[in-house]
Amino acid sequence: MGDEVSEEGRILAEKVDRLFQVIHPTGRGPYSLREVAQGIADRGGPTMSASFLHQLRKGQRDNPGIKYLKALADFFGVPPSYFFDEEEGRRVDTELSLLESMRDNQVRSVALRASGLSPETLRTVQAIIERARELEGLNKDEGPGEDA
């Protein structure tokens, strides 16, 4: 029973882990647990150990307290409501997906080349991309930038 993770713990862990995986300095991989703990402390946030952060990422802590979640949100630059509000969580996840996509050089290249095109041309390009996703068997809802 010691290794069981509650539903709340799993959801929180997924959100915390997503922040670690997606938001990090350009040109390098994710922050370490110690870097995040130190960064939060440097900003005057509550004391968090690397072990505490590890437990959050693994779902072993499912009710860490609002001050810890606010500090994590502040460190990663997302609104604290990301952890509490489903709609806000979906919006932030969409932004995180866009950030992930933009790290892909080919995706970034397409986006940069599209800059300055007319709205009509951009709609045509978007339609072509959607058709290509269909042909590749990719779900329309999997990609970022969907209008809700």
DSSP 48-75: --HHHHHHHHHTS-S---HHHHHHHHHH
The pLDDT tens digits of the residues spanning 73-106 come to 999 999 999 999 999 989 998 888 888 877 776 7
DSSP state of 42: H
> Which residues, in sequence order, are CB contacts of 135 under 8 Å at separation 6+?
none
Please give the pLDDT value at position 2: 52
Give percent of the chain above pLDDT 90. 45
In the block, tokens 């045509």 appear at 124
Read off the pTM. 0.68
pLDDT at 36 over 70: yes
If one counts every other C-beta atom within 10 angstroms of the C-beta of residue 43, the result is: 10
CA–CA distance from 27 to each of 31, 81, 87, 122 (Å)?
12, 28, 31, 29
